[in-house]
Structure 1
Amino acid sequence: MDTPKSGVLERFAIAVSNWSERWFPDSYIFALLGVIIVAIASVVIGAPVTDVAKSFGNGYWSLIPFTMQMAMLVIAGYVVSVSKPVQALINKLALIPKSARSAIVMVAVVSLLVSLLNWAMSTILTALLVIALAKRKELHMDYRAAAAAAIIGMGATWALGISSSAAQLQANKDSLPESIYNLTGVIPFTQTIFLPQSLVMIVVLMVVSIAICFWSAPKRDNTKTMQDFGLNFDEVEESTATQSSRPGDWLENSPLLSILVVLLGLVWMYFEFTSKNPILAISSLNTYNFVFLILGLALHGTPRNFLNAVSKAVPAVTGILIQFPLYGSIAFIMTNAVNGSGDSLSHYIAHFFVSIASHDTFAIVMGLYSAILGFFVPSGGGKWIIEAPYVMQAANDLQYHLGWSVQIYNAAEALPNLVNPFFMLPMLGVLKIKAKDIMGFTVTQLVVHLPLVLFLLWALGQTLDYVAPMK
């Protein structure tokens, strides 16, 4: 019996994957290269080497709060995932798919939908689902393709959803810097993420992303399972309760302290979620991490069981702790190292794109600019503060719809996440693989998404009329 040939997308994904596994460096090397490239470019535009060096050092610790949040995201997600109740629930969900490809499609659907509500939640939940599915050896599921499906929400839909940093900033006057507010006024959600054009774009991207996940998933001999990576997630957290010989032992193995702290946490959560929109509340990384840590403490029962789970989670945050400071340096060099005219590298990049844009080409030009800048400054909210003054001034000058300008930023800003390890690191830490392992499948998504996103931004933008800033 002849074996059916592999599809075009599968062959392309495997070819890129084989190349990246051999040639793609560790993501830390990738971050170091980013620093060097941005530093050289800043010197080329006339920024003094001393200013570039100062920006490097000053920016190195600028992402410490975010770094801590992301590290806690991984720890909290892992702690909850290894608890017996959650493991049982995820294992039941993992029994639904009947084939490797349907399993990968399930991961993609969960990633795309959850990312619309909360991007941080999508990265951890989908990683846990991948592990549960990968344990089903009879599925013979490609671990790399499933991991790539888990990150697809970050590369396709997250910035078009409720946790969009740019849309949230523009909808709240108190959050906007005065310079941006004077240009745009307040832009409500009805003019950004809830536009009918935005919803159309979400549906199209979801359908296409799922189709790519399905058709690029390796079959037969091309498959590389979790077992092929030599990974084992079968360790069960064992209770260490012992006969109490001293007060310290009793407190560690008694649920009393856990119950009291959980009750305090529940009271705080009640006020937090009743005083504001619950979706916006959970979109805060601090709130998200707090909820999951309290949940983890409750699910593990005793402080000792909880601490055992935390200790096993810590190695997964290595990449985050060592790489995120470099991304902070990149952002600082691009924005703070200026030449004799007072202009930074980000200003020159923005000026170039704005200068070549017209009303008809605005969506494509700004989309490319946002995607390129996002590769070096992978921060939705922070990058919008950098980008908005130039983009929104151009939108006003060209009489282009301001809300759709925000969506151009959102849709294009997500694209670099398909190849930039920045937002992959928490998920990769849980899955215990590297960026090079999944790059073949995320690059396949990017090759299709880039022209599709630019076309949709242009075509849908043509249906909208300019609305003056609302102040």
Structure 2
Amino acid sequence: MVFKKFTNGCVNLVNKYLPDAFLFAIVLTIIVFLAGMGITQQTPMAMVKHWGTGFWSLLSFSMQMVLVLVLGTAMAKAPVFERLLTAIAMSAKTPGRAVVITAVVATVACWLNWGFGLIIGVLIAKEMAKRVKGVDYRLLIATGYAGMIVWHGGISGSIPLQIASGSAESLAQQTAGALTAQVPTSETIFAPFNLIICLLFLIFLPLVAHAMMPTKENTVTVDPRIFEEPPAPPAHKFTPAENFERNRVMWIITLALGYIYIVYNLVTTNFNLGLNIVNMIFLFVGLTLHGNLRRYIDALMASASTAGGIILQFPFYAGIMGMMTGVSAATGTSLAQVISNAFVSIATPVTFPLFTYLSAGIVNLFVPSGGGQWAVQGPIMMPAGVALGVKPAVTAMGIAWGDAWTNMIQPFWALPALGIAGLSARDIMGYCVIVLIMGGIITSAVFLLFGGMGWF
């Protein structure tokens, strides 16, 4: 009962005071702008320059995220895929089961691949809302998104994959000389401490999601009819152009080109599921499931309208990253370096992995990108870890888990999920605060236990 009251309090607080996700980005911009001047002694014009230099630095990544959203949604509109999601949803006969199954599916999918999991989590949540009466729609979407908390400890984690595949020269440059050889995934993704953290999330996320279920009077449901697709236009005799658009020969040739390259890429990269290849898989699986080029074009056009939030907000987050990493001419440091160094200065060999994790969580609020996080903190934390006798793999995973942790209260990554769900950040962030607390306790406990017992 106390837990439910606390959850309701978080939900109500967020609903009242959390601004729209775009305004949240503006607030963060102002905070970093002022902090840069106050902490690193930079002039207002210097901060403006850092902001402007960074503003367009995420254009490629922004397009990738737009494609994650649009291609994933278009794929889900295929009748075969809808039947699969329906079959999973039909196994949930009660609201409690719906929430638990959503949590399990989202966590496993995000561990396998974050781009895939981000879309699958929210799609299964929507399907549950269609099929199960009396389940809170906000909680379902929050649970589907919450699976993202494991992504950087999974097999698509950018930091562990980077240090496993990068050249010695590149790794040394990224870590200020702390790494001069590749670190195998057996020491990061498949290390005992990392697998234990992932397993604990798989167990506790469904339990916590179930415990967060609001009382009947506080439950917010949706009318399943809002998910219904508009009726298909009446049948008519196709023109030659329309017949050509539905030509199966053209469809097969297109599919053959796509699948040949996908297989080639996976084989030659040892099945490294980068974001581009994931999007390509989404595209060609969706194209396959829709049955012809015309139906896929229609599904894609219907899905594209949900991408506005990403298009608007990602440049502002890129600007924030520019200010976080911009080096002061007066002090020779950036704001991100000051935050990281503050934790390093008080760390011991036992507490260093934990402090790495906590500092990464703070930096991630302002630099919500795995690659950006590594570029900011790798050159600081990796040499400090080596000096304290902490294994580079452990330090790297501390950064990785911190990056994933505060995604729970950072709308940056939730935008694709919110676009598909038709919700705002304030609708789900109250529940995500609870997941944030749970995640912080689990990961901190494992880092402290392994560090204290000398198991790293």
Q: Same fold (TM over 0.5)?
A: yes
Shift of 1:181: 6.8
Residue 460 to residue 116, structure 1, CA distance change in 2 (3 Å): same
> 2:305 is aligned with what amino acid?
P
Residue 359 to residue 177, structure 1, CA distance change in 2 (3 Å): closer
Question: Residue 469 of structure 1 corresponds to which residue in structure 2?
Answer: none
User: What CA distance in whole angstroms lies between the structure 2 residues aligned with 1:463 and 1:184?
Assistant: 25
> 1:448 is aligned with what amino acid?
M
> In structure 1, the residue corresponding to 2:403 is in which secondary structure?
helix
1:357 and 2:326 matched? no
Question: Residue 220 of structure 1 corresponds to which residue in structure 2?
Answer: 216
Question: Residue 420 of structure 1 corresponds to which residue in structure 2?
Answer: 410
The answer to whether the Cα contact below 8 Å between 2:55 and 2:315 also exists between their aligned partners in 1 is: yes
Question: Residue 80 of structure 1 corresponds to which residue in structure 2?
Answer: 75
342, 362, 365: which is aligned to 1:375? 365
Residue 43 to residue 83, structure 1, CA distance change in 2 (3 Å): same
Percent identical among aligned pairs is 29
The answer to whether the Cα contact below 8 Å between 1:21 and 1:437 also exists between their aligned partners in 2 is: yes
User: What CA distance in whole angstroms lies between the structure 1 residues aligned with 2:233 and 2:454?
Assistant: 60
Question: Residue 32 of structure 1 corresponds to which residue in structure 2?
Answer: 26
Question: Residue 7 of structure 2 corresponds to which residue in structure 1?
Answer: 13
Shift of 1:196: 1.3
Question: Residue 264 of structure 1 corresponds to which residue in structure 2?
Answer: 257
Shift of 1:315: 1.6
Q: 377-386 or 10-19: which moved more?
A: 10-19
Question: Residue 196 of structure 1 corresponds to which residue in structure 2?
Answer: 192
Question: Residue 289 of structure 1 corresponds to which residue in structure 2?
Answer: 279
Shift of 1:337: 4.4
Question: Residue 442 of structure 1 corresponds to which residue in structure 2?
Answer: 432
Residue 465 to residue 396, structure 1, CA distance change in 2 (3 Å): farther
Shift of 1:381: 2.2
Shift of 1:258: 2.1
The answer to whether the Cα contact below 8 Å between 2:164 and 2:183 also exists between their aligned partners in 1 is: yes
> In structure 1, the residue corresponding to 2:82 is in which secondary structure?
helix
294, 310, 316: which is aligned to 1:320? 310
1:178 and 2:209 matched? no
User: What CA distance in whole angstroms lies between the structure 2 residues aligned with 1:315 and 1:362?
Assistant: 45
User: What CA distance in whole angstroms lies between the structure 2 residues aligned with 1:253 and 1:360?
Assistant: 63
Structure 1: gaps of 5 or more residues? 1-6, 467-471
The answer to whether the Cα contact below 8 Å between 1:401 and 1:464 also exists between their aligned partners in 2 is: no
Question: Residue 378 of structure 2 corresponds to which residue in structure 1?
Answer: 388
The answer to whether the Cα contact below 8 Å between 1:142 and 1:223 also exists between their aligned partners in 2 is: yes
1:148 and 2:138 matched? no
User: What CA distance in whole angstroms lies between the structure 1 residues aligned with 2:229 and 2:291?
Assistant: 18
User: What CA distance in whole angstroms lies between the structure 1 residues aligned with 2:211 and 2:300?
Assistant: 38
* Residues 67-106 of structure 1 aligned to structure 2 (within 5 Å): 67-106=62-101
Structure 2: gaps of 5 or more residues? none
> In structure 1, the residue corresponding to 2:229 is in which secondary structure?
coil
Shift of 1:40: 0.9
Question: Residue 156 of structure 2 corresponds to which residue in structure 1?
Answer: 163
283, 294, 310: which is aligned to 2:300? 310
> 1:307 is aligned with what amino acid?
I
The answer to whether the Cα contact below 8 Å between 1:242 and 1:253 also exists between their aligned partners in 2 is: no
User: What CA distance in whole angstroms lies between the structure 1 residues aligned with 2:176 and 2:163?
Assistant: 8
Please give the per-residue CA displacement for 1:130-177, whole angstroms capped at 9, x wherever unaligned. 11111125x31111111111112212x111111111111111232535
Residue 237 to residue 388, structure 1, CA distance change in 2 (3 Å): farther
> In structure 2, the residue corresponding to 1:422 is in which secondary structure?
helix
> In structure 1, the residue corresponding to 2:411 is in which secondary structure?
coil
> 1:294 is aligned with what amino acid?
F
Question: Residue 248 of structure 1 corresponds to which residue in structure 2?
Answer: 241
> 1:308 is aligned with what amino acid?
D
1:235 and 2:229 matched? yes
User: What CA distance in whole angstroms lies between the structure 2 residues aligned with 1:237 and 1:189?
Assistant: 49
User: What CA distance in whole angstroms lies between the structure 2 residues aligned with 1:456 and 1:159?
Assistant: 16
Question: Residue 4 of structure 1 corresponds to which residue in structure 2?
Answer: none
User: What CA distance in whole angstroms lies between the structure 2 residues aligned with 1:430 and 1:348?
Assistant: 37
Aligned length: 452
Coordinate RMSD, CA, aligned = 1.9
1:127 and 2:122 matched? yes
Shift of 1:226: 2.3
The answer to whether the Cα contact below 8 Å between 2:118 and 2:144 also exists between their aligned partners in 1 is: yes
> 1:207 is aligned with what amino acid?
I
Residue 269 to residue 312, structure 1, CA distance change in 2 (3 Å): same
User: What CA distance in whole angstroms lies between the structure 2 residues aligned with 1:102 and 1:412?
Assistant: 30
> 1:34 is aligned with what amino acid?
L
TM-score by length of 2: 0.94
> In structure 2, the residue corresponding to 1:182 is in which secondary structure?
coil
> In structure 1, the residue corresponding to 2:155 is in which secondary structure?
coil
Shift of 1:179: 4.9
User: What CA distance in whole angstroms lies between the structure 2 residues aligned with 1:154 and 1:423?
Assistant: 9
User: What CA distance in whole angstroms lies between the structure 1 residues aligned with 2:187 and 2:112?
Assistant: 18
User: What CA distance in whole angstroms lies between the structure 2 residues aligned with 1:270 and 1:239?
Assistant: 37
User: What CA distance in whole angstroms lies between the structure 1 residues aligned with 2:175 and 2:99?
Assistant: 42
User: What CA distance in whole angstroms lies between the structure 1 residues aligned with 2:176 and 2:112?
Assistant: 26
User: What CA distance in whole angstroms lies between the structure 2 residues aligned with 1:95 and 1:368?
Assistant: 40
The answer to whether the Cα contact below 8 Å between 2:351 and 2:451 also exists between their aligned partners in 1 is: no
Residue 355 to residue 294, structure 1, CA distance change in 2 (3 Å): same
User: What CA distance in whole angstroms lies between the structure 1 residues aligned with 2:241 and 2:75?
Assistant: 25
User: What CA distance in whole angstroms lies between the structure 1 residues aligned with 2:93 and 2:37?
Assistant: 56
Q: 303-312 or 70-79: which moved more?
A: 303-312
Shift of 1:421: 0.5
> In structure 2, the residue corresponding to 1:94 is in which secondary structure?
helix
